């Protein structure tokens, strides 16, 4: 974060009466007052109007205390949605969530505030159990410690995380994370906190536990803790099913910034395109993104010239040349027919002027040169089944990337290329991106085996099983150069 002193908001939840609010605000250590930009009392009682006048006092006079009145009773998660919206509106850097109704140790604000200065863009959890606190073991019954350990272990195993205290609601959330996750579609109950953790995992945002003195119990009613634990496990399993595309959950479509990375699978589009290009060739990569193909092609002695809309300082240094162009505009480059290949890898589905781009690309191909173009297959079996049950969910990546303006079947894709003045000479297909689904580097023996089996199925029935279609085509005319005078 750019500021020397981050703007921190302390949000108090469960403020059902003025005495609780006064006790909580009065317990905030005085040396922390300058470090809190404001204290926000979240009044969940719909229509209540008495708290603003009752929270005044000696302690609150030293702090900027405001009361946030909600139009209805939001519930646990709903109140946090309102708080986070307020934090973003006020341009706070951090929102610290604290339940006033469970008597958390306010001295724990010291390590939490210290940690946020050292851990920007990190979700911080005030953990009652991390590090095997002796005090924590003494104050909690044995059966509760066993149950908590079992619950945490199952969640960690399912999600691939290492968190000791999933149950803590005492946490510091940076607004930089809130701007990139759809927390407003999370649950209105205690599952909100678990879902926010999973959203951080999906985003790749770090989560850190800060050891604090234990002493509060998050569950107020008998059986509430067990019910929350069971539902949390169901939420974790639901996320894994979402990753496998067996179900889709909009709350896990997070903004990862850069959508595309180089896929190393032999059955994926990147490696197949690299394999199709002859050593020593000259390649024009239209819509090159960061220049992902430059590195693997450099090993074949291939010179790659990139074209994309992004700024030059955002592309790979491995490109021989780079031209910043909007591909929706007529393509004009300071070069003639000097390329052996023109590559359009997962680009055409993002463009409205797709035919115009392909027609203009003909001017840069040498006689005998090839266009290599790929796009996702919307007729994939999974999307057919999704439509059958009434689901067609756009997201930040994949076939239904929310930036796609046109979707193709195998037949409509071939027709587009042919209408642009090309003759298709070879078709390739790809497997599902198992290395993305299983978060693999592409070098796992199991993932490679699954990918090969599926790739064989996709070649057998491409219209139904191919994840992407790759066409290699040659030009059918040299345009104005085809006339002899």
**What would the pLDDT profile of 186-226 be if each residue is shown by its tens digit?**
999 999 999 999 999 988 899 999 988 766 777 666 667 78
Contact (CB, 8 A) for 345 and 261: no
* Helices 224-243 and 142-159, packing angle to 10 deg: 10
Which pLDDT does position 132 carry in this prediction? Answer: 46
- The average confidence (pLDDT) of the chain is 85
Which pLDDT does position 131 carry in this prediction? Answer: 54
Measured in degrees and rounded to the nearest 5, phi and psi for residue 175 equal -70, -20
Which pLDDT does position 354 carry in this prediction? Answer: 93
Q: Do domains 8-252 and 269-482 have the same CATH topology?
A: no
The domain over range 269-482 is classified in CATH as 3.40.50.150: yes
Can you name the residues that pair with 45 across neighbouring β-strands?
Answer: none
Give the position of tokens 């067609």: 392
**Strands 321-324 and 303-308, sheet pairing:** parallel
Lowest mean pLDDT among 49-58, 59-68, 296-305, 389-398: 49-58
Which pLDDT does position 69 carry in this prediction? Answer: 78
425-477 confidence digits (pLDDT tens): 999 999 988 766 665 555 567 777 888 899 999 999 999 999 999 999 999 87
Kindly tell me if the per-residue pLDDT of 137 is higher than 50: no
CA 293, 378, 427, 358 torsion-angle sign: negative
Lowest mean pLDDT among 1-5, 67-71, 192-196, 379-383: 1-5
Domain range annotation of the chain = 8-252, 269-482
Rounded CA-CA distance 263/126 in Å is 37
Rounded CA-CA distance 206/84 in Å is 19
pTM summary value: 0.71
Which pLDDT does position 401 carry in this prediction? Answer: 82
Share of the chain above pLDDT 90, in %: 51
Mean of the pLDDT values across residues 369-392?
Answer: 91
219-254 confidence digits (pLDDT tens): 666 667 788 889 999 999 999 888 777 777 888 888
H helix runs in 396-473, sequence order: 410-419, 434-437, 445-460, 462-465
Kindly tell me if the per-residue pLDDT of 353 is higher than 60: yes
- What is the DSSP code (8-state) at residue 278? P
Which pLDDT does position 136 carry in this prediction? Answer: 46
Size of the chain, expressed as the number of residues it contains: 485
Which pLDDT does position 21 carry in this prediction? Answer: 81
122-135 confidence digits (pLDDT tens): 999 998 876 544 34
Which pLDDT does position 442 carry in this prediction? Answer: 52
Which pLDDT does position 1 carry in this prediction? Answer: 45
Rounded CA-CA distance 448/438 in Å is 11
142-197 confidence digits (pLDDT tens): 767 787 789 899 999 999 899 998 988 999 999 999 999 999 999 999 999 999 99
26-55 confidence digits (pLDDT tens): 889 999 999 999 999 987 664 444 555 555
* Helices 354-361 and 410-419, packing angle to 10 deg: 50
Write the CA distances from 29 to 40, 60, 170, 189, integer angstroms.
16, 12, 17, 30
Q: Which helix (H) or strand (E) holds 22?
A: helix 18-26
Which pLDDT does position 64 carry in this prediction? Answer: 87
Kindly tell me if the per-residue pLDDT of 398 is higher than 80: no
Domain spanning 8-252, CATH architecture: Alpha-Beta Complex (3.90)
Rounded CA-CA distance 411/45 in Å is 58
Q: Which residue has the higher pLDDT, 248 or 91?
A: 91
* Helices 75-89 and 191-203, packing angle to 10 deg: 50
Q: Which residue has the higher pLDDT, 339 or 21?
A: 339
């Amino acid at each position: 974060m750019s500021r020397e002193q981050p703007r921190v908001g302390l949000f108090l939840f469960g403020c059902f009466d003025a005495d609780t609010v006064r006790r909580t605000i009065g317990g905030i250590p005085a040396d922390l007052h300058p470090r809190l930009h404001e204290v926000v009392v979240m009044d969940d009682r719909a229509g209540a109007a008495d708290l603003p006048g009752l929270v005044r006092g000696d302690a609150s006079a030293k702090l900027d205390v405001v009361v946030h009145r909600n139009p209805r009773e939001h519930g646990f998660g709903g109140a946090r949605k309102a708080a986070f919206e307020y934090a973003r509106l006020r341009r706070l850097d951090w929102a610290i969530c604290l339940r006033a109704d469970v008597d958390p140790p306010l001295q724990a604000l010291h390590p939490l505030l210290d940690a946020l200065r050292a851990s920007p863009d990190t979700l911080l959890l005030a953990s009652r159990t991390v590090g095997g606190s002796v005090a924590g073991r003494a104050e909690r019954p044995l059966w509760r410690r066993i149950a908590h350990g079992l619950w945490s272990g199952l969640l960690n195993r399912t999600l691939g995380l290492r968190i000791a205290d999933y149950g803590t609601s005492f946490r510091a959330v940076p607004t930089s994370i809130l701007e990139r996750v759809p927390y407003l579609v999370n649950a209105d109950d205690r599952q909100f906190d678990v879902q926010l953790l999973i959203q951080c995992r999906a985003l790749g945002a770090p989560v850190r536990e800060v050891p604090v003195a234990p002493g509060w119990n998050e569950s107020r009613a008998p059986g509430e803790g067990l019910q929350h634990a069971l539902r949390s496990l169901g939420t974790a399993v639901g996320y894994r099913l979402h990753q496998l595309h067996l179900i889709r959950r909009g709350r896990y479509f997070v903004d990862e910034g850069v959508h595309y990375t180089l896929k190393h699978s032999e059955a994926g589009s990147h490696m197949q395109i690299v394999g199709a290009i002859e050593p020593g060739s000259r390649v024009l990569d239209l819509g090159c993104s960061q220049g992902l193909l430059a590195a693997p092609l450099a090993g074949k002695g291939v010179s790659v010239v990139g074209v994309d809309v992004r700024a030059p300082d955002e592309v790979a240094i491995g490109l021989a040349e780079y031209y910043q162009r909007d591909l929706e505009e007529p393509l004009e480059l300071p070069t003639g027919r000097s390329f052996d290949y023109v590559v359009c890898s997962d680009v055409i589905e993002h463009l409205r002027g797709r035919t115009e781009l392909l027609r203009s690309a003909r001017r840069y191909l040498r006689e005998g040169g090839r266009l290599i173009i790929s796009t996702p297959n919307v007729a994939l079996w999974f999307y057919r089944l999704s439509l059958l049950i009434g689901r067609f969910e756009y997201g930040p990546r994949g076939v239904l990337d929310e930036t796609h303006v046109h979707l193709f079947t195998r037949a409509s894709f071939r027709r587009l290329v042919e209408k642009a003045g090309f003759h298709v000479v070879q078709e390739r297909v790809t497997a599902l991106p198992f290395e993305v689904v299983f978060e693999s580097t592409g070098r796992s023996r199991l993932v490679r085996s699954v990918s090969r089996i599926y790739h064989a199925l996709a070649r057998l029935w491409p219209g139904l099983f191919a994840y992407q279609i790759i066409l290699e085509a040659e030009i059918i005319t040299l345009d104005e150069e085809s006339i002899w005078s």
